[in-house]
């Protein structure tokens, strides 16, 4: 493949519609907007407007619930940990925590903590600190001779019973 041979798929691009270029173009004079009225003007935003009647999206009740205290964890698979260990980005002798994972590039944002999942295989003996792990991940880490420390000191949400 050469750079001069690269071309778009058929139908991937469309020519720009040139409006207001004479009666013979088929899009002259009113440029496809009809005659006068709000829709013929620029800056029209009437989506959902029902002619002064209460719009349907305001007549219907709100549904559902968004928990503002929900935790968002980052999932890390054992295979990803092993590839970072093989590449030398993580040190086997030191405990692996969120800061080590971020500096190694395994995790981009720590969010509310790291959860270890069991996808892939782990060959090296490591100690990992996380906020959670699946049973299969704990078993695989212990089978490889390592240990996992689950952090129990979660930050308070402010909604404890008094």
pLDDT digits (tens, 9 = 90+) for 127-149: 999 999 999 999 999 999 999 99
Beta bridge partners, 148, equal 128
Cα–Cα distance, 46 to 4 (Å, whole number): 45
132 close to 94: Cβ distance less than 8 angstroms: no
Averaged over successive runs of 10 residues, the pLDDT of the chain (162 residues) comes to 92 92 91 89 83 91 93 94 93 92 93 94 93 95 93 54 45
Domains within the chain, CATH numbers bracketed? 74-150 (3.100.10.10)
Instruction: Specify the pLDDT at position 160.
Output: 45
Tell me which H or E stretch contains 116: strand 114-117
Q: What angle do CA 32, 41, 24 make, to 5 degrees?
A: 25
């Amino acid at each position: 493949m050469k750079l001069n041979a690269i071309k778009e798929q058929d139908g991937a691009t469309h020519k720009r519609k040139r409006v207001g270029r004479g009666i013979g173009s088929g899009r002259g004079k009113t440029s496809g907007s009809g005659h006068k009225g709000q829709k013929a003007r620029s800056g029209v935003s009437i989506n959902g407007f029902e002619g002064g009647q209460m719009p349907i999206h305001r007549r219907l009740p709100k549904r559902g619930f968004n928990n503002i205290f929900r935790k968002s964890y980052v999932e890390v698979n054992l295979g990803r940990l092993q590839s970072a260990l093989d590449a030398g980005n993580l040190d086997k002798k030191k405990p692996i925590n969120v800061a080590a994972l971020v500096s190694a590039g395994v995790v981009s944002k720590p969010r509310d903590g790291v959860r270890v999942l069991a996808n892939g295989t782990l060959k090296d003996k490591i100690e990992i600190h996380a906020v959670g792990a699946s049973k299969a991940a704990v078993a695989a880490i212990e089978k490889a001779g390592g240990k996992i420390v689950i952090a129990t000191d979660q930050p308070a949400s402010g909604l404890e019973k008094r």
